[in-house]
Chains A and B, each alone.
Chain A
Amino acid sequence: MLNIKDLHVKLEEEDKQILKGVNLEVKAGKVHAIMGPNGSGKSTLSYVLSGRDGYEVTGGSAHLGEDDLLEMEPEERAAAGLFLAFQYPVEIPGVGNMTFLRTSVNAQRKARGEEEMSAADFLKEVRARAKDLKIDADMLKRPVNVGFSGGEKKRNEILQMAMLQPKMCILDETDSGLDVDAMKLVSEGVNALRDAGRGFLVITHYQRLLDHIKPDVVHIMADGRIVKTGGPELALEVENNGYADILSEVA
């Protein structure tokens, strides 16, 4: 599903190489986790895949199925089925959450040549999905993420994911800023979307999120590369011993 080969990325504004040859394949139905110390390039990887400005790809490739992601606009990547749950969801004053969701859903459908969702169907769907995530009517009416708590913002990301039904979901430190209850709620939302046809890439600092969203594969990223890959036990090793042991072992 997601296939990244020898991806090299530098900052556009300065001569600083962030990703130094990332290789990663996520198959449909699998959950991969990426862990790693601060500054290892985890978030950069998520931004580059979703098409954010400010990065220059200096080598390698990234494909979602047959689609060459790096050749596509951000909205085309989204319509192709890529979704990034932001570490810091953006506040958009003046744009209602419902308008935002409906515009997004229908823009993607239109781009794929599908029929737009009717207002009634959309309302029914969004209410059902919101209820699962304990998102009340007021949060749906308010401007996108404005005045939302950290937990509410993350739940709102998962609501978008549930409405858009992407093929490949990237979760960038979705656990940051969440208390135990919110983490449970968000994880349940993610787990409900686990499906044989959908892949996940979960970026996190901590093992605790992986207690709730159980990964099939765990990667350790350091200095712009994936330095170690293993099963769920690798996350536990990080939790118990920190990154130092693993890094010295691969150095």
Chain B
Amino acid sequence: MAAPAEKQNTTEARIAALDLPKGGWSDAARTEALTRLRVMGLPERRDEYWKFTRPDALTSVDVPTAAVLGTKEAPVFSEMDALRIVFNDGVFDAEASDDLAMAHVQISRLADSSSDIHWAAGLYGQLEANGQAPVARPLATLNTAFATDGVLIQVVGQAPKPISLVYNHLNKASEAILHHVIKLDPGAKLTVLEAGPAAARLNKVMEIDVADGAAFHHVRAQGRDHERCAATHIFARLGQESVFKSFTLTANGRLTRNECVIELTGDDAIAHVAGACVGDGDFHHDDTVFVTHDALRCESRQVFKKVLRNGAIGVFQGKILVKAGAQKTDGYQISQSLLLDDDSQFLAKPELEIYADDVVCSHGSTSGAIDEEALFYLRSRGVPAPTATNLLTLAFLAEAVEEIEDENLRAALVDQLEGWLERHRS
């Protein structure tokens, strides 16, 4: 079905303002994506999954400008022993990046179209295309067509250290369209870290194919810039007995839409996706998660916590789809908000759709304020009210942060959260 006229106009205007990168192995996928995009059209407020989040700033021709946060502090994860790959406003920075070589791992750049990367040609835009049903994700399709850079990572064994993607935002009117493809062969293991705001406006897709027995860990922090807009998508396909764990920390940002589309296709696979966000004022943060169980005895877990104040808005749309035959599925979903005042809002839409009869699926969603009893207890022991509030706020976020397995990574993110709370004391 063709999109309505207004939607078509927005979409065509946006397409007209972009250049389709030319040449090499990705051409076919890009052209095909462009065709799909024209049919579905860019998102608008009337679309079912955009009811709570206005997509305008993400679809407009002009990039909404975003002030660059001038901070001297070392970015998160900079202490970690990792292979660093740096992008400035979405452009690869060879000088600042490490040599793209590591045992058991092959890393290429999407922008380097000269080589014929067979494995990537079969995946690029493929998981994204699979993730379009039953809910369209047009911004990801736009990304497949127009992505200008990104990394293609193939992992054949256990990666000796994490790959750390660093996204600097330098220009207040910059736009970055990044597309990463990560393929883990059977039994392979990799941790990917991401940090930074990337650009005034970011559109990012990460496609991850996790083969049988492989394990992928992902921890990201989306920078601290206040005005930046971002739409990110993760598309993951999981093989038998594979593991996928992803955690996202979002502090600040005028608009963030993080979509995560996971398909459990092999028996006994495990997928955990979690996030913590803290917003003060002009902050709209949307987590949209879609987990499909299509195999036996798989486990999925969604844990999302949002701390909101001064009119900040949090959105959670999380779905667990259990297909017929996906028996012994264990699905869990929790989304919670801590509203630090009466002006903030949390909008949640948890969904379960189950076609198998022998499954355990649970979901919950809550909104609450700081527990007055606990606050008084802390104060009665001499802890000043703002410190006590921060302590209780961190405690609220702890359940999500604990989803990060690695102790050092967890500590690094707790530091970030403490810093944020300290700067935003009541």
Q: Report which A residues bind B (CB closer than 8 A).
A: 50-53, 73-75, 77-79, 83-84, 86, 89-95, 99-100, 103-105, 107-108, 111, 143, 160, 164
Q: Considering the complex, give the chain A residue whose CB is closest to the CB of B373.
A: A90
* Residues on the B chain within 8 Å of A89, using CB: 377
User: Whole-angstrom distance from the CB of A74 to the nearest CB of chain B?
Assistant: 4
CB–CB A50/B382 < 8 A: no
User: Whole-angstrom distance from the CB of A2 to the nearest CB of chain B?
Assistant: 16
- B382's partner among A93, A99, A107 (CB-CB below 8 A) is A107
CB–CB A75/B374 < 8 A: no
Size bracket of the B interface:
20 to 34
User: Whole-angstrom distance from the CB of B94 to the nearest CB of chain A?
Assistant: 43
CB–CB B382/A104 < 8 A: yes
CB–CB A94/B395 < 8 A: yes
Q: Considering the complex, give the chain A residue whose CB is closest to the CB of B387.
A: A107
- A95's partner among B372, B376, B382, B392 (CB-CB below 8 A) is B392
User: Whole-angstrom distance from the CB of B384 to the nearest CB of chain A?
Assistant: 5
Q: Considering the complex, give the chain B residue whose CB is closest to the CB of A111.
A: B382
Proximity string of chain B (356-394) to chain A, C-beta cutoff 8 Å, 1 when within and 0 when not = 000000000000000111101111111111011001101
**Within residues 89 to 139 of chain B, which ones have a CB less than 8 A from any CB in chain A?**
none
Known: A90-B373, A95-B391, A103-B387. A78 touches B396 (CB 8 A): no
User: Whole-angstrom distance from the CB of A162 to the nearest CB of chain B?
Assistant: 13
Q: Considering the complex, give the chain A residue whose CB is closest to the CB of B383.
A: A107
* Residues on the B chain within 8 Å of A51, using CB: 379-380
User: Whole-angstrom distance from the CB of A191 to the nearest CB of chain B?
Assistant: 22
The docked-state distance in angstroms from the alpha carbon of A90 to that of B392 is 13
- Interface status of B399 (Cβ within 8 A of chain A): yes
The docked-state distance in angstroms from the alpha carbon of A91 to that of B382 is 17
CB–CB B399/A74 < 8 A: no
The docked-state distance in angstroms from the alpha carbon of A107 to that of B396 is 21
* Residues on the A chain within 8 Å of B18, using CB: none
Q: Considering the complex, give the chain B residue whose CB is closest to the CB of A77.
A: B380
- Interface status of B398 (Cβ within 8 A of chain A): yes
The docked-state distance in angstroms from the alpha carbon of A193 to that of B101 is 64
Q: Considering the complex, give the chain B residue whose CB is closest to the CB of A91.
A: B374
Q: Considering the complex, give the chain A residue whose CB is closest to the CB of B372.
A: A53
The docked-state distance in angstroms from the alpha carbon of A84 to that of B378 is 11
- B395's partner among A50, A75, A95, A107 (CB-CB below 8 A) is A95
CB–CB A92/B383 < 8 A: no
The docked-state distance in angstroms from the alpha carbon of A107 to that of B383 is 6
